Amino acid sequence: MTMSNIFLISSTSLIFIGLFGVLTRKNIVKILLSLNIIETGINLLLVAFGYKEGGKVPILTSSDSINHLGNMVDPVPQALVLTSIVIGLGTTAFALGLTIRYYKTHGTLNIEANDEEEVTAHE
């Protein structure tokens, strides 16, 4: 089994673990944790898609490094991961803010709580 396959399998398993959490958990905080696990898995998966056996960092440090352009790992997935990390951060921050509000309005963190106004007995 090559290094590349290990990366692929481990990141896919992370995504599966996260998906299982999102599908089965009822607590919003746990769902958000699972979402974060999915995001981590995706970031690893994307980096693994650019991985190269014995590859170098795609940063030029000296005149010598230009001769090794062919040995460098693919820089594009890394750029994509940078974006996806920021989007993941935004999702988490926004969702946690909403969760605080949800706890205040619903009195529970259960995602299946009724949204209708009539049952507002907790406040």
Of 118, 110, 117, 121, the C-alpha closest to 30 is 110
Residue 60 interacts with another protein (CB under 8 A)? yes
Judged by CB under 8 A, which of 10, 27, 49, 54 binds another protein?
49
Which residues is 110 bridged to in the sheet?
27
Residue 51 interacts with another protein (CB under 8 A)? yes
Q: Cα 98 to chain center, whole Å?
A: 19
State the Cα–Cα distance between residues 74 and 12, nearest whole angstrom. Answer: 20
Q: Cα 121 to chain center, whole Å?
A: 36
One character per residue 6-45, x = contact with another protein (rule: CB under 8 A): ------x--xx--xx-xxx-x-x--xx--x--xx--x--x
Task: Pick between residue 10 and residue 20 the one whose CB is nearest to another protein.
Answer: 20
Q: Which of residues 78-117 bind another protein (CB under 8 A)?
A: 78-80, 82-87, 89-91, 93-102, 104-106, 111, 113, 115-117
